Amino acid sequence: GLGGTPNKLLGARRRHIVFAATVEDREEAPSTSALQGSGSSSEAVQKKGRSKFVIDENEIMKSLPEHRFFTFGSMALMGATLAEAMYQADGLGDWAGVGASVFMAYILSDLGTGIYHWGVDNYGDGNTPVFGRQIAAFQGHHQKPWTIVQREFCNNLYQVFKPASVPAAFFLAISPFMSPAFNAFTSSFLFLVCMSQQFHAWSHMKRSELPGVVLALQEAGILVSRKMHGAHHRAPFEGNYCIVSGLWNPVLDDTRFFRKLEDFFFATTKVEPRCWYPPDADWAEEGSA
């Protein structure tokens, strides 16, 4: 379970390892399977196979014009697609379809963020094509989880709204030819997946720092709560990955969904996920020792 000790965790996973190694050995040199999962060059080996970029202490936390442009611009594209859905709706059946689509987007966006979060938490590194920066950011967040609350709204969100602007523009372009239900789903799903980064930030804030409506939504289980996401930040970060509502977290964790996926990927690729081992001492959460 999530509350198990590191030794029990290691014992449970040893059946998958062909060549057993101590945690200290893994810190001194990455295993062959870890290198296979990272896609890193020999330069990465010299860096001990670290899974992320070094955190820039001088990184900008304030929202810049570029951040606002991509955040609000992408929101406008998604909002226009949703508006098209409502404009197209004609009669009770269409409106019921729009409402059901928005609800399904809410349910499935939580699942989607959980699967994506699990993937970037456990596989690849800062050198991985396309996803490297996001993998690096998630790993850096485990070391310094409080920095997310120091970012201003658009500074935090543009990292997800910027790449989402491409599918948002595509869905808006085809919206006149699609059904109201389809347009409602695509716009709502994209918006909620992107906003999960802010829901995530709110789950790290103190009660006194949260707007009253956000706190009420967390306590009602509509947004992921501080308690639920706090459970994710216990090494080796092996559960509670969903960050929209957290509705799927007990389902996925109790059924060992991610453990089964990890077993499957290891059986087919021999790549081990990071959560099978305690984090390297250099990359553990600061102040946790």
Amino acid 11: pLDDT: 42
User: What are the DSSP calls for 119-150, one per residue?
Assistant: HHHHS--TTSTTTHHHHHHHHHHHHSGGGGGG
Amino acid 22: pLDDT: 29
Amino acid 42: pLDDT: 31
Amino acid 51: pLDDT: 40
Cβ proximity of 267 and 224 under 8 Å: no
Amino acid 56: pLDDT: 55
Amino acid 17: pLDDT: 33
What is the residue-level pLDDT of the chain in tens, covering all 289 positions? 344 444 444 444 433 333 233 223 333 333 333 333 333 333 333 333 344 444 455 678 899 999 999 999 999 999 999 999 999 999 999 999 999 999 999 999 999 999 998 988 888 877 878 777 777 776 666 566 667 778 889 998 998 999 999 999 999 999 999 999 999 999 999 999 999 999 988 988 888 989 999 999 999 999 998 887 666 667 667 788 899 999 999 999 999 999 999 999 999 999 998 888 877 654 444 444 3
Amino acid 200: pLDDT: 87
Residues 6+ apart with CB under 8 A from 39: 124, 125, 127, 128, 129
* Cα Rg of the chain, angstroms: 20
Residue 244 Cα distances to 78, 92, 223, angstroms: 18, 29, 6
Amino acid 143: pLDDT: 64
CA nearest neighbour of 226 among 208, 249, 200: 200
pTM of the model: 0.75
Amino acid 76: pLDDT: 98
Measured distance CA(222)–CA(241) in Å, rounded: 16
